[in-house]
């Protein structure tokens, strides 16, 4: 492998580009609404369009990497992302912006799972935790830094620059990937399963649409869409059971380590999108902290994630993955739930310490768990495992955000108070604690043979 030590950094920086774009637009919605002469509710659909695009593109990502090679698919994802970003920047109407955001979400959805697949195929088992810890940092940093960068861009330039800055950075990433990375692919890739791919993509697309509708209190259409999405999902599973070369390789769930590590990861994914949303809401609406100070405090989560890197692979090597995942899960939940008991009199130093702790432990368990998912999977099945993991992760991230939103709507309506926000933090944290059940069933596994 050429320049293997640079691989996680090159892939990770490209993923950072996508995660920043996905999260920075939230603070730009008022400026976009004013520029396009539309109301905020209509413009907020740009976030939903991105999630829907991602849902549609996730299922085929593993097969595409097997067939065309991880590097080629990753480059294609960046190129499509850059083109869609340019279309977003020059959009003069909301429909055009929504269409471009959908394509942008589809392109961005390829980067994280395919990048992870490249890491798993590039590095031996004993080096994967260290490599993946480096690679995954941008994915954890983006949701924290995105709103801060988006606010600065909107305040001092134009919302269109949120998308324009993707062009030079994306093209530079493509060049680096082309020059420094090899294109690993399966010598005998799986046959294409067009029907399974279509049903699975539709199932995830409709399910995510329904969850988004529920988060906006559109109960009838949301429930109908979720039900239809689950029905399509059942059809996709039935199709996979009857076809030898199906997109969804269900026999992988017979691998105990894959099944338990994936369930652990999915429990933690419930907090991936919900945590920044809840914490930002708590600090501003609940505690009365200004947006600028809130941004600084939220960035402490990103700093905590950065601090994890020197410890993760060493601790896994010394104590085993199960011990590290247990420590990371307990630390994540206790730090997060601790935020529910903050009050207006709480010092910013204490709030920052909780945020730092939450970022540290969340990154610790996320990096370890992501590697464990592939630990018991045969090399030729890593593409199929990537598909299954990506589908679950996409669903659970949206499910977590929808769940906390619906909970707050039931307890306090459209204007959540401090009590309802705190309650949502506690409930989501305790649900995430259920991942310990799967961790204890994994057994003491170390990365070195």
Predicted local confidence at residue 152, as pLDDT: 80
Predicted local confidence at residue 184, as pLDDT: 72
Predicted local confidence at residue 324, as pLDDT: 94
Q: In this structure, is residue 188 part of a structural domain?
A: no
Same domain, 8 and 140: yes
Which domain does 141 fall in, by range?
1-181
- Is the model more confident about 144 or about 254? 254
Same domain, 151 and 265: no
Q: In this structure, is residue 186 part of a structural domain?
A: no
Same domain, 34 and 151: yes
Give the CA-trace dihedral at 153, 400, 274, 414, to 10 degrees.
90
Same domain, 385 and 410: yes
Q: Are 8 and 129 in contact (CB under 8 A)?
A: no
* Per-residue model confidence as pLDDT tens digits over 28-52: 888 898 899 988 668 878 988 998 9
* Per-residue model confidence as pLDDT tens digits over 157-208: 889 999 999 999 899 989 988 887 877 766 667 788 999 999 999 999 999 9
Binned at pLDDT 50, 70 and 90, residue 355 comes out as: very high
Residue 25 has pLDDT above 70, yes or no: yes
Domain boundary among 229, 248, 267: 248
- Quote the percentage of the chain above a pLDDT of 70: 95
Residue 447 has pLDDT above 60, yes or no: no
Q: In this structure, is residue 187 part of a structural domain?
A: no
Alpha helices, H only, 90-180 = 94-122, 125-156, 161-164, 166-180
Q: What one-character-per-residue DSSP string does 50-99 give?
A: HHHHHHHHSTTHHHHHHHH-HHHHHHHHHHHHHHHHHHHHT--SHHHHHH
Q: In this structure, is residue 189 part of a structural domain?
A: no
Same domain, 270 and 319: yes
Domain boundary among 181, 210, 225: 181
Helix 321-338, helix 435-442: angle, nearest 10? 170
- Quote the percentage of the chain above a pLDDT of 90: 48
Same domain, 92 and 138: yes
Same domain, 302 and 363: yes
Q: In this structure, is residue 175 part of a structural domain?
A: yes
Q: In this structure, is residue 276 part of a structural domain?
A: yes
Q: In this structure, is residue 409 part of a structural domain?
A: yes
Q: What one-character-per-residue DSSP string does 221-274 give?
A: HHHHHHHHHHHHHHHHHHHHHH-TT-SS-GGGGGSHHHHHHHHHHHHHHTTTTH
Predicted local confidence at residue 449, as pLDDT: 39
Least confident stretch, 111-120, 230-239, 347-356: 111-120
Predicted local confidence at residue 187, as pLDDT: 65
Side-chain half-sphere of 366: how many Cα atoms within 13 Å?
A: 29
Residue linked to tokens 């950075």: 169
Same domain, 208 and 83: no
Same domain, 295 and 207: no
Q: What is the CATH number of the domain that holds 124?
A: 1.20.1250.20
Domain boundary among 127, 149, 181: 181
Q: Are 271 and 293 in contact (CB under 8 A)?
A: no
Predicted local confidence at residue 1, as pLDDT: 47
* Per-residue model confidence as pLDDT tens digits over 404-434: 988 988 888 767 889 999 999 999 999 999 9
Mean pLDDT over all residues of the chain? 88
Binned at pLDDT 50, 70 and 90, residue 138 comes out as: confident
Distance CA 147, CA 273 (A): 13
Q: In this structure, is residue 418 part of a structural domain?
A: yes
Same domain, 235 and 310: no
* Per-residue model confidence as pLDDT tens digits over 205-261: 999 999 999 988 899 999 999 999 999 999 999 999 998 889 999 999 999 999 999
Whether the full predicted model's pTM is greater than 0.85, yes or no, is yes
Q: Are 105 and 57 in contact (CB under 8 A)?
A: yes
* Per-residue model confidence as pLDDT tens digits over 306-344: 888 888 888 988 888 999 999 999 999 999 999 999 999
Same domain, 275 and 370: yes
Same domain, 263 and 217: no
**What is the number of domains present in the chain?**
3
């Amino acid at each position: 492998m050429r320049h293997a030590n640079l691989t996680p950094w090159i892939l990770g920086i490209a993923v950072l580009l996508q995660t920043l774009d996905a999260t920075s637009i939230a603070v730009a919605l008022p400026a976009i609404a004013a520029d396009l002469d539309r109301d905020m509710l209509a413009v907020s659909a740009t976030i939903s369009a991105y999630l829907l695009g991602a849902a549609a593109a996730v299922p085929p990502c593993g097969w595409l990497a097997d067939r065309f090679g991880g590097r080629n698919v990753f480059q294609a994802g960046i190129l499509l992302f850059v083109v869609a970003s340019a279309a977003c920047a020059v959009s003069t109407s909301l429909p055009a912006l929504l269409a471009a955001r959908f394509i942008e979400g589809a392109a961005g959805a390829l980067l994280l799972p395919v990048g992870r697949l490249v890491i798993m195929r590039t590095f031996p088992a004993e080096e994967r935790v260290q490599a993946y810890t480096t690679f995954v940092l941008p994915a954890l940093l983006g949701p924290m830094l995105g709103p801060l960068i988006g606010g600065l861009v909107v305040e001092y330039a134009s919302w269109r620059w949120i998308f324009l800055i993707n062009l030079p950075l994306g093209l530079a990433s493509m060049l680096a990937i082309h020059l420094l990375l090899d294109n690993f692919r399966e010598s005998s890739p799986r046959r294409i399963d067009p029907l399974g791919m279509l049903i699975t993509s539709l199932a995830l697309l409709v399910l995510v649409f329904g969850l988004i509708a529920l988060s906006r209190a559109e109960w009838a259409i949301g429930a109908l869409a979720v039900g239809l999405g689950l029905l399509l999902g059942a059809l996709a599973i039935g199709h996979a059971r009857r076809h030898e070369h199906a997109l969804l390789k269900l026999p992988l769930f017979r691998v105990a380590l894959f099944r338990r590590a994936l369930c652990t990861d999915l429990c933690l994914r419930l907090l991936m999108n919900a945590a920044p949303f809840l914490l930002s809401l708590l600090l501003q609406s609940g505690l009365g902290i200004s947006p600028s100070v809130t941004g600084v405090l939220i960035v402490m989560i990103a700093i905590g994630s950065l601090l994890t890197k020197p410890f993760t692979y060493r601790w896994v090597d010394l104590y085993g993955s199960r011990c590290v995942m247990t420590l990371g899960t307990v630390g994540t939940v206790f730090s997060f739930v601790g935020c529910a008991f903050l009050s207006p009199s709480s010092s910013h130093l204490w709030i920052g310490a909780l945020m730092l702790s939450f970022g540290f432990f969340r990154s610790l368990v996320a990096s370890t768990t992501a590697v464990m998912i592939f630990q018991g999977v045969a090399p030729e099945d890593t593409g199929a495992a990537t598909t299954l993991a990506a589908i679950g992760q996409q669903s659970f991230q949206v499910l977590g955000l929808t769940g906390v939103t619906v909970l707050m709507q039931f307890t306090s309506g459209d204007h959540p108070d401090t009590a309802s926000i705190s309650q949502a933090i506690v409930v989501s944290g305790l649900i995430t604690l259920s991942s310990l059940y799967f961790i204890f069933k994994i057994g003491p596994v170390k990365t070195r043979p």
